[in-house]
Structure 1
Amino acid sequence: MGILGLSKLIADIAPHAIKEMEIKNYFGRKIAIDAYMSLYQFLIAVRSEGSQLVSTDGETTSHLMGTFYRTIRLVENGIKPVYVFDGKPPDMKSHQLNKRAERREEAEKELQKATEAGDQESIEKFNRRLVKVTKVHNEEARQLLKLMGIPVIEAPCEAEAQCAALVKAGKVFASATEDMDALTFGTNVLLRHLTFSEARKMPVQEFHLDDVLKGLGLEQKEFIDLCILLGCDYCGSIRGIGPKRAIELIRQHRSLEEVLRNIDTTKYPPPEEWDYERARELFLQPDVTDPKEIELKWSDPDEEGLFIDLCILLGCDYCGSIRGIGPKRAIELIRQHRSLEEVLRNIDTTKYPPPEEWDYERARELFLQPDVTDPKEIELKWSDPDEEGLVQFLCGDKQFNEERVRNGAKKLMKARSGTTQGRLDGFFTISTTPNPKRKAEEDKKNSAKKKAKVGGGGRGRKPK
């Protein structure tokens, strides 16, 4: 939910605190992105004919499509993104989560009515209201981002709070989320619409906390009290007090304690057991990982993983291949879609049906994590050949010629003693540059040969 009405209030009272920017303006910037908010956007926005994208087995893939291509867009614009995932929500958020569950139940009922009535517009509307980011969505996105070489951070609690901590510590330039409570947590710079589709042509909104506080005429603690009064995720708000009245009250009384002492609580009754003090503490002292303990590392994308998927598509020992897709088509598909999952989502499976129960994921795992002895435990040792043992093993029943076997053993012994001398290129640097003197002599010889050919007798044709 974030903070109700805060973005409009800032736009009305402190418009100078908001800048409209293009994505290219953040070239070279490190930005912490609220992963939950991005995935939620992708599940709603990345659709085909009004429905979420799904795999061949019906699993949702909109979140992966959005994460993959929007992240590529950020990186192509010179941005270094860091995705921050939510941890366990604070206990005080439970009432808000319960409200969301109730709204989903209502949406399900309305969806059923719209489906029975055949109202396509309402079906799409209520389907979007039922969107929920699941643990599976989070785990798949984490896996994808790691394969792409993008840093992932697991926040102990709220992702927005962790993003803000990274900004305040100077680890990143800004927090990117649609939730305005990133400002309440103290992020110096908030970016909204950063991960929106390019097709929407929405400028990035850049909020600067210092300018927000200056424009509203508040200190950070007073700003937190304003956000609680407006309505936040941790406690209810006072019915009848909207954004305009809220800023007036905080400016006049400077704290929620003083506001409660001076308003008519019979006209504006606060919620029962309104624990605004604990909510304030959650904003002032959020549960975050110390940014000093976080190392941000961007690595190269996992090309090996793509190569393995190509090999499986070509055909390997562990599972069948797709009939009709040869080597040329296979490399085109992997280059375009970057994984077997995406290949299967995008090819015509009626024309190119995959094998029944095609367990390419297990095959991939066998290539990535094969069952092998740890090389550290292996000692490589070459010993002298056992001439008598060879004769005993090969001669007799196997009827090898004894003399040839003994000669072979002696050759092994000789070759073995010779290898101990080492390679010459271990002692000398081999240069590929030709010796200038030798090259001049060879050029002279070649020139003389050409002249002899041209000026020589015989019945050949005259040179032109």
Structure 2
Amino acid sequence: MGVKNLWDIIESCKKTIPLHHLQNKRVSIDLSCWMVQLQNVNKSHCSLKDKLYIKGLFHRLRALIALNCTLIFVTDGSIPAIKLSTYRRRLKSGTEDEINLNNTSSLRRNMGSEFSCMIKEAKLLGMALEVPCLDGVEEAEAQCALLNSESLCDGCFTSDSDVFLFGARTVYRDICLGEGGFVVCYEMADIERELGFGRNSLITLSVLLGSDYSPGVRGLGPESACRIVESIGDKGVLQRIALEGLSFARKGSRKQGCSRRCNHKENESDRQLNINGSERDLQGEKHFQQVVGAYLKPKCHSADSEAVHGSNIKEQRCSKS
């Protein structure tokens, strides 16, 4: 999911660029996101036994390799402890493989699940096409963001919007092949310039609206959340919350501000925000600090780690220079 409503909020920054603009680019790929996309196509056309998702993956890789792109798969590692409540909700709706959630630390994924087997098949295809794979410590999009922010890749493919909160600068959300092929691209520089939302602002929006790490503030919609965050500014928003807690949202929601930066219209719930000084709110403020830490300091392989060196991405970068 990423951050609730974030793709809609940054819609005005979306760019559709011709596929050939990726010529000679170094690109990381959040493999799980690609496989979910391809799995959905597979389900709409035939059974998983036909492995249409592998054919789709092959065509994507072939098109990018033909453009002399340097590619690297990045896979998810353990499930972060802060994300376990999200997995509990997904399990109840039957959208995730069953795992043991009676734990407060990060959990290893079920490597025997159907989806994990699909990931293994994808990695084998990548090996055959000389596409290296970096197995993430926890979130794949966080590892992709680190590679991008450390200039080890020029951009990353993922559909998880929280990749920006982890520090990514250039994100490709989707790809279309064939004649007139294109990619859907978002640049953090555009988000900062056009919307005034930097990384700190996006992290704050994730707490207010909800994300994989936070349920959000009840009664607060995207229009009000955007107005609150932009009224404070990116530089001081995290410090402001550290000093005032989530009560700052109630104050900010009463202020009048320009809403041109948010594509969502105000709804009734936006006018029913109720935040007080209860024990529950204090717990929420503590959770907020955990969310901030999870986004600012995610568990990833560092740029100079053996895992990154072993993926040959640094050597590939040098060969492109």
TM-score (norm 1): 0.52
SS at 1:134 equivalent: helix
Q: Is the 8 A contact 1:34 1:176 kept in 2?
A: yes
Q: Is the 8 A contact 1:225 1:250 kept in 2?
A: yes
Larger Rg: 1 or 2? 1
What residue number does 2:17 align with?
Answer: 21
What residue number does 1:10 align with?
Answer: 10
What residue number does 2:42 align with?
Answer: 46
- Separation in structure 2 between the aligned mates of residue 202 and residue 225 of structure 1, nearest angstrom: 35
- Separation in structure 1 between the aligned mates of residue 189 and residue 94 of structure 2, nearest angstrom: 37
- Separation in structure 2 between the aligned mates of residue 133 and residue 166 of structure 1, nearest angstrom: 28
Q: How far did residue 36 of structure 1 move?
A: 0.3
Q: 1:183 to 1:173 in 2, by over 3 A?
A: same
- Separation in structure 1 between the aligned mates of residue 92 and residue 71 of structure 2, nearest angstrom: 34
Indicate yes or no: 2:178 matched with 1:233: no
Q: How does 1:364-383 map to 2 (within 5 A)?
A: none
Q: How far did residue 101 of structure 1 move?
A: 1.5
- Separation in structure 2 between the aligned mates of residue 174 and residue 2 of structure 1, nearest angstrom: 18
What residue number does 2:191 align with?
Answer: 212
* Alignment counterpart, residue 156 of structure 2, candidates 170, 175, 192: 175
% identical aligned pairs: 22
Q: Give the total of aligned pairs.
A: 261
Q: 1:133 to 1:205 in 2, by over 3 A?
A: farther
- Separation in structure 1 between the aligned mates of residue 273 and residue 185 of structure 2, nearest angstrom: 38
Instruction: Give the counterpart letter for 1:69 in structure 2.
Output: H
What residue number does 1:287 align with?
Answer: 299
Q: How far did residue 198 of structure 1 move?
A: 4.2
* Alignment counterpart, residue 160 of structure 1, candidates 121, 127, 141: 141
**Which has the bigger relative contact order, CA under 8 A and spacing at least 6?**
2
Q: Is the 8 A contact 1:40 1:133 kept in 2?
A: no
- Separation in structure 2 between the aligned mates of residue 290 and residue 42 of structure 1, nearest angstrom: 30
Q: How does 1:242-321 map to 2 (within 5 A)?
A: 242-253=221-232, 254-255=237-238, 256-257=241-242, 258=244, 260-262=246-248, 263=250, 267-269=273-275, 273-274=283-284, 275-293=287-305, 294-295=308-309, 296-297=311-312
Q: How does 1:441-452 map to 2 (within 5 A)?
A: none
- Separation in structure 2 between the aligned mates of residue 31 and residue 247 of structure 1, nearest angstrom: 31
String of CA shifts for 1:298-333, please: whole Å, max 9, x gaps.
8xxxxxxxxxxxxxxxxxxxxxxxxxxxxxxxxxxx
TM-score (norm 2): 0.73
What residue number does 1:139 align with?
Answer: 120
Q: How does 1:432-443 map to 2 (within 5 A)?
A: none
Instruction: Give the counterpart letter for 2:127 in structure 1.
Output: K
Where do 5+ consecutive residues of structure 2 fail to align?
97-112, 254-271, 314-321
Q: How far did residue 213 of structure 1 move?
A: 1.9
- Separation in structure 2 between the aligned mates of residue 213 and residue 180 of structure 1, nearest angstrom: 15
* Alignment counterpart, residue 73 of structure 1, candidates 42, 54, 63: 63
- Separation in structure 1 between the aligned mates of residue 294 and residue 166 of structure 2, nearest angstrom: 9
- Separation in structure 2 between the aligned mates of residue 166 and residue 81 of structure 1, nearest angstrom: 12
Q: 1:155 to 1:102 in 2, by over 3 A?
A: same
Where do 5+ consecutive residues of structure 1 fail to align?
56-60, 107-131, 299-464
- Separation in structure 2 between the aligned mates of residue 103 and residue 35 of structure 1, nearest angstrom: 23
SS at 2:57 equivalent: helix
